[in-house]
Structure 1
Amino acid sequence: MNLVDRLKRKEEAALVELMNQYGDYLLRMAYLLIKDHQRAEEAVQDTFISAFEKINQLEKEEHLKSWLTTITINRCRQQMRKWSFKHIFPDIEIIERTQQADRIDSPEADLLAVEWNENLTAAIHALDYKYREVITLFYFNELKLAEIAVSTNIKENTIKSRLKRAKKLLKDHLLKEGAHNGG
């Protein structure tokens, strides 16, 4: 029996399997969107609870990942409406924990990669939520524009515009930071 069928039968083991399969993916996305590890975990937990309760609303099992993505986006938006995150600094630990650790580099390359990740995370967090959302979904979750439009319930042309604007803002921010840091 497949995972979705087991979830529909309310098997707790299936819920654990779902969490193991999609937890890191959803947590990475939520963290990039709301910039706070604890609230990202809360949004993902809410996603799994909601998905387990409403699994019968999933029309096609091959859409499970995009369905979970949509639920997580909505939970993140709720978190953003409830809290102000202007003074929260990026916590790179979640990024490091969720990245693949199977590459072997020199210590210098590792240090540069960590610094780049910190700078990129800070630049993403400096964006308005609507830009963070499209950047995260497009680059980190590797969703197509049409999938982002469906997940966010926003027109595809709006997604394209936001993505273009977000890339420009990121580039400007990273170039400005490089100039300030003597890079």
Structure 2
Amino acid sequence: MRELMTAYGDELLRTAYLLVKDRQAAEEAVMDAFVQAYAKIDQLKQPDKLRSWLLRIVANRCRMRMRTWNWRSLFPFDRVESLAEETEPGPEELLLAQWRAERLSEAIHELDYKYREVIALYYFNELSVLEIAEQLGSNENTVKARLSRGRARLRTLLEKGDEDGAGVYE
């Protein structure tokens, strides 16, 4: 279990955070996923598909969390936490990289869940369209359409932020 958490924990946490927009909820989803994976590891038929199996569990946990109402939805927090590991190239580069990451994160969080989900799986977890379709139980063309619409919406949100000069949120 510890080896699985070390190998996949950060990637699953980033994915969950992109999907649920809340670090604590993301951590809970990942921990629930690891517990479920541990309990049902005997159901994994192809060990080489472990990564995608874990991603599917996390995505399902996040989807369930997004469907249920909770008190935190009444009190949204504007602060976006960075989950990416940082290197130390220099203060200017760090500030610029953090600003860009925050803008992108804010824009992704503005998307509807169905677009956030496919963008997170495709770009941040590098799953193919076929793998995403299998995980979501949908058609490849549906995934392609959601990716296309999600990218278009992201572009609009980021361009809006450039025009306003204030970022994605006003």
* Structure exhibiting the larger radius of gyration computed from Cα positions: 1
Give 1:105 deviation, angstroms. Answer: 2.5
Shift of 1:90: 5.6
Alpha-carbon deviation of 1:106?
A: 2.9
Q: How many residues align?
A: 165
Per-residue Cα deviation, 1:125-177 (whole angstroms, up to 9, x for no partner): 00000000011011111111001111111111000000000000000000001
Structure 2 distance, partners of 1:22, 1:79, is 21
2:49 pairs, out of 63, 80, 86, with: 63
Change (3 A) 1:177 1:139: same
1:143 aligned to 2:127? yes
- Identity fraction in percent: 49
What is the aligned counterpart of 1:167 among 151, 159, 162?
151
Query: Contact (CA 8 Å) 1:137, 1:143: kept in 2 or not?
Result: yes
Stretches of structure 1 lacking an aligned partner (at least 5 in a row): 1-14
| Structure 2 Cα separation of the partners of residues 121 and 90 of structure 1 | 12
2:34 is aligned to 48
Residue 117 of structure 2 corresponds to: 133
- Is the counterpart of residue 181 in structure 1 residue 155 in structure 2? no
Distance 1:87 1:169, change over 3 A: farther
Find out whether 1:109 has 2:109 as its counterpart. Answer: no
- In the TM superposition, residue 115 of structure 1 has moved relative to its aligned partner by 0.6
Post-superposition offset of 1:91: 4.7
Shift of 1:82: 1.0
Q: TM-score, normalised by structure 2?
A: 0.91
